[in-house]
Amino acid sequence: MHRIPSFLKWLVGSVLAIAILTGLMLLQNPKNLEEKYRLPGALNQISSTPNAKQVHNLLVEVTDNKRKFVVGALLMANKNNRSIAAIEPNVVVDMREFGLMDLRSASNQASAGQLVDALNVSGGLSIDGILNLSEIGLGALLDSVGGVTVNVPAKLKFPAAESREVRTLPAGKTHLDGATAAAYAIYRQPGESAAEQSLRFRPVLTSVLDSLPADPQRLNTQLTSLGQAGSSNLAHLDIAYFFTNSRGHWATASTLNLDTWPSQLTTSAKDKWLWLNTGSIASKLIHDQPDALWVPDNNRYRISVSSQLPKARRIARDLLSRGSIYFVDGGGAAPSLRSHLIVTDTVPADVVQKLADTLSLPELDTVVVSQISTGTEMQLDLGEDFMNIQQKGSSQ
């Protein structure tokens, strides 16, 4: 009879001992082992449908066949409140190192993300994203809901994008197909303000928004099918959830005005730029749509700059075109010998020092407060000392 080698006896014994020990552990505490080897929740809950980003403030802009912003509306849906504000394409925004631009020009020179970021800084807003619809894209959405009925106060003539013909609508109620309704909605008569134009655009827009599919997945497919006629810096699913969650409430949404004034920072006589009055915007939205206002962070500090001479603001803007301090046009100011700065108590001392160094104002008078009426973290009134230093520096 063959003898079993000693090392084999040891191996068999070890295996039996491990098996017995494991069995005893399972009998004594099976629940603890189950918890120990359970997969993390995130791995157990993987879904083929990603979670949609929460969108509360969406800018819908419609562009013409040259991809220029012609009409827009800021849709705000926060805490069951629905508000709509007309957006003026002539509003000037600071594109930082790329210079000042109006929204109409910036819409075909900058990405949607850059555009919304610049608009947020300039107006003290918290817009989550932009849905850029071409006139054809708006028409396609209108056709998908069977067109729209409009009430025309007086006979109106307007150009149609597809046929390039002039359409004429009689006064009274008329049902329009998508292409005609889109052309009617975005047409702007000579001398007409954005608020006046919105009297046509808003009913058409709210009608289609309140009639879109209630299923976000179905609406997501519809938005995706628009292609370049319906682009955005957000996922279409995010926009779909925004529209389905707010569906049925846009026709009765309140109207909020984003006050504007003629900008003195225009680069040529033909430009009719407007600047956003951030103080007025902050005071209006704080009651009706506070979640649509700018949320300060530690990486960007907005500074409202005012001056007697527009040239001083343009120079300051150029000096602040990079870095963590963002220029906001504060308009004209009374003449003063020295520059004065107001900052909130949230602005670190090193940021204030950096501002003084950047503008070459080593003895800048500074006052710290808890809140500034402009809605910015800093407010600077430039005096004669600023221009004197700039002129002295340029002559050396």
Same domain, 82 and 37: no
Residue 293 is classified by DSSP as B
Q: Each residue of 336-349: pLDDT tens digit?
A: 999 999 999 999 99
The rounded distance, in Å, linking the Cα atoms of 73 and 318 is 30
Same domain, 384 and 240: no
More confident residue, 21 or 81: 81
Q: Helix, strand or coil for residue 187? A: coil
Same domain, 122 and 263: yes
Same domain, 262 and 385: no
**What per-residue confidence (pLDDT) applies to 34?**
38
Q: Has residue 356 got a pLDDT over 90?
A: yes
Output the CA–CA distances (angstroms, integers) from residue 29 to 15, 17, 24, 284, in the order listed: 21, 18, 9, 63
CA 23 to chain centre: 60
The rounded distance, in Å, linking the Cα atoms of 350 and 279 is 26
**What per-residue confidence (pLDDT) applies to 14?**
55
**What per-residue confidence (pLDDT) applies to 194?**
83
The answer to whether residue 49 is domain-embedded is: no
Same domain, 195 and 212: yes
User: Last residue of some domain: 290, 311, 332?
Assistant: 290
Q: Specify which residues 382 forms β-bridges with.
A: 307
The answer to whether residue 316 is domain-embedded is: yes
Instruction: Give the chain's domain count.
Output: 3
**What per-residue confidence (pLDDT) applies to 46?**
30
Q: Each residue of 222-247: pLDDT tens digit?
A: 999 999 999 999 999 999 999 999 99
Average pLDDT, the chain: 86
**What per-residue confidence (pLDDT) applies to 8?**
46
Q: Has residue 5 got a pLDDT over 70?
A: no
Same domain, 19 and 152: no
Same domain, 307 and 223: no
Q: Has residue 354 got a pLDDT over 80?
A: yes
* Percent share of the chain, pLDDT over 70: 85
Output the CA–CA distances (angstroms, integers) from residue 72 to 156, 205, 241, 324, 354, in the order listed: 21, 10, 20, 29, 37
**What per-residue confidence (pLDDT) applies to 196?**
86
Q: Has residue 327 got a pLDDT over 80?
A: yes
Phi-psi region of 100 (alpha: psi -120 to 50; beta: other; left: phi over 0): beta
DSSP letters of 238-266? HHHHHHHHHTT-STT-EE----EEE-S--
The answer to whether residue 51 is domain-embedded is: no
The rounded distance, in Å, linking the Cα atoms of 72 and 131 is 10
**What per-residue confidence (pLDDT) applies to 395?**
64
Q: Helix, strand or coil for residue 385? A: helix
Q: Has residue 40 got a pLDDT over 60?
A: no
The answer to whether residue 262 is domain-embedded is: yes
Q: Has residue 74 got a pLDDT over 90?
A: yes
User: Last residue of some domain: 246, 269, 290?
Assistant: 290
Q: Which tokens is 40 given?
A: 């993390």
Same domain, 263 and 313: no
Q: Helix, strand or coil for residue 24? A: helix
Q: Is 173 exposed, middle or buried (0-12, 13-18, 19+ CB in 10 A)?
A: exposed
**What per-residue confidence (pLDDT) applies to 24?**
46
Under 8 Å CB-to-CB from 250, ≥6 apart: which residues?
Answer: 75, 82, 84, 205, 206, 209, 210
**What per-residue confidence (pLDDT) applies to 83?**
96
Contact (CB, 8 A) for 158 and 184: yes
Domain range for 74: 57-290
The answer to whether residue 50 is domain-embedded is: no
The rounded distance, in Å, linking the Cα atoms of 31 and 11 is 31
**What per-residue confidence (pLDDT) applies to 357?**
96
User: Last residue of some domain: 290, 323, 354?
Assistant: 290
The rounded distance, in Å, linking the Cα atoms of 63 and 70 is 5
| Phi, psi (rounded to 5 degrees) for 249 | -120, -5
Same domain, 218 and 328: no
Q: Has residue 97 got a pLDDT over 70?
A: yes
Residue 108 is classified by DSSP as T
Identify the band that residue 1 occupies on the pLDDT scale cut at 50, 70 and 90. Answer: very low
The answer to whether residue 29 is domain-embedded is: yes
Count the Cβ atoms, other than its own, within 10 Å of residue 218: 13
Q: Each residue of 10-27: pLDDT tens digit?
A: 545 555 555 554 454 444
Same domain, 365 and 259: no
**Lowest mean per-residue pLDDT among 12-16, 46-50, 61-65:** 46-50
Q: Each residue of 273-316: pLDDT tens digit?
A: 999 999 999 999 999 999 999 999 889 999 999 999 999 999 99
Same domain, 188 and 203: yes
Give the predicted TM-score (pTM) of the model: 0.83
Identify the band that residue 162 occupies on the pLDDT scale cut at 50, 70 and 90. Answer: low
What average pLDDT does this structure show over 154-169? 80
Same domain, 31 and 134: no
CATH number (domain holding residue 344): 3.30.70
More confident residue, 49 or 374: 374
Amino acid at position 350, single letter:
D
111-114's contacts with Cβ under 8 Å and 24+ in sequence apart are 111/233, 112/231, 112/232, 112/233, 113/233
The answer to whether residue 312 is domain-embedded is: yes
The rounded distance, in Å, linking the Cα atoms of 234 and 131 is 8
The distance in angstroms from the start CA to the end CA of the chain is: 109
The answer to whether residue 124 is domain-embedded is: yes
